[in-house]
Amino acid sequence: MNALNTYFKISERGSDIQTEIRAGFTTFLTMSYILFINPQILALAGMPANDVAIATALAAAIATLIMGIFANFPFALAPGMGLNAYFTFGVVKGMGVDWQIALVAVFIEGLIFMALAMTGVRTKLINAIPHCIKIATMTGIGLFLAIIGFQGANLTVDHPATLVTLGNLHDPAVLLALAGIVLTASLVVKQVKGAILIGIVSLTLIAWFTGLSPMPESIVAMPSLPEETFMALDFSQIFNATLITVVIAFLFVDIFDTAGTLMGVGRLGGFLNSKGELPGADRAFMADATGTTAGSLLGTSTVTTYIESATGIEEGGRTGLTAVVVAALFLLALFFTPLFTAVPALATAPALIVVGAMMMSAAREMDWSKLEDGVPAFLTIIAMPFTYSIAHGITLGVISYVLIHTFTGKARDIHPLMVVLAAALIAYHAFI
């Protein structure tokens, strides 16, 4: 116990071992929905759901363990929501890229991020991004998750005249999903630990026993490495222009996604300095990069830091021991992959919608009266669900920020790295 206390600086940060363990359980319960949802989203890309479930648990365990031991932060990581949707809908379905090739893009992205983290470039780039774009990115991802949830619940369906419209409210599955939104939100409001997980489990059991979704053929299975996705990367298109564009897109998306989360949960835990920077961010980014690289080899999309880490921090978690507990629980989950992959979309859709709502809370930090910041932030937020792309939202936000500040005589407020980033994004869309 003394060794744990000394290594993780538990007493120094005003915590204790019991609190750290409880915080780890809380964080795991609030983010364990990724074990249900990630296989469903990546299965739409043609990947075997059972393999993805195993890869998800292993990648989350590896990255979170590194975050805890190496960076000593109570932040948990797993394949990112929004990032997995971009993998499936933006890359595989949108660009027609095979999932084996898309995994190569994730692998290369992880290696690049390792280099950027080791040299400190990634941290400098994040510090250069204006606050309004960071906030807008997190908020926009919340809307993106919501529209995916609406689709999963069949609350939103396509329409030939209006593109989208309301689904069939006489469908029992749709009504159950609506009830799930109310249930999950109510539990979150009441601050019930594991509220999102309780909502998913409750809806799943109802769907199984009412025949709205088939029950799993088994519950427990001995864990093993993924059969079809492990080391399934296809490097044959490594110099193809399409693959290069995918790598660039993953880079931009992951940079903003991870940075926004680290800043958000870091501020909640009191880890930021007076300049709003996170000391030790390079080590946190290294955990993210290592998890992404390992995840691609196992068979899952980009790994990122989870905003649900805030729940563990609110429980008092202040050190990497919280993350170590989360990693151990992800490994334990490997024994129940048949159960996870049988959870229906109608049960996970409310979780996506409620998590999206939680991420929207960041919008209150914006000063919307300053239109030179407000317009780029709004474009970032609204473009994500409207274009079904996180990358497109970030692109519009960054470019519009630089141009509006330049044309209104406020160029001095623009960090030089932002100009470089905007120019790179313009070149990307113009020529690639």
pLDDT tens for 95-133 read 888 999 999 999 999 999 899 888 888 777 777 878 888
Core vs surface per residue 360-391: b (16+ CB within 10 A) or e: bebbeebeeeeebbbbbbbbbbbbbbeebbbb
Specify the range with the lowest mean pLDDT, choosing from 266-280, 295-309, 350-364. Answer: 266-280
Mean pLDDT of 11-22: 88
**In which element (H, E) is residue 158 found?**
strand 156-159
The confidence score (pLDDT) of residue 432 equals 61
The confidence score (pLDDT) of residue 347 equals 86
pTM score, whole prediction: 0.74
Give the confidence band of 48 by pLDDT, cuts at 50, 70, 90.
very high
The confidence score (pLDDT) of residue 70 equals 95
Mean pLDDT of 400-415: 93
The confidence score (pLDDT) of residue 275 equals 67
Mean pLDDT of 260-275: 76
Report the C-alpha gap between 78 and 58 in whole angstroms: 9
Determine what percent of the chain falls in helix, strand and coil, rounding each to the nearest 5.
Answer: 70, 5, 25
Token pair belonging to 337:
């992959």
**More reliable by pLDDT, 197 or 370:** 370
DSSP helix/strand/coil, 418: helix
Nearest to 141 by CA among 385, 379, 310, 374: 385
Percent of the chain scored above 70 by pLDDT? 98
In the predicted structure, residue 389 carries a pLDDT above the cut 80: no
The confidence score (pLDDT) of residue 100 equals 95
Give the confidence band of 308 by pLDDT, cuts at 50, 70, 90.
confident
Mean pLDDT of 277-287: 87
C-beta of residue 393 within 8 angstroms of C-beta of residue 213: no
The confidence score (pLDDT) of residue 276 equals 63
**More reliable by pLDDT, 324 or 184:** 324
The confidence score (pLDDT) of residue 356 equals 81
Tokens 């690639």 identify what position?
A: 432
In the predicted structure, residue 259 carries a pLDDT above the cut 80: no
In the predicted structure, residue 402 carries a pLDDT above the cut 90: yes
The confidence score (pLDDT) of residue 47 equals 96
In the predicted structure, residue 233 carries a pLDDT above the cut 90: yes
In the predicted structure, residue 69 carries a pLDDT above the cut 70: yes
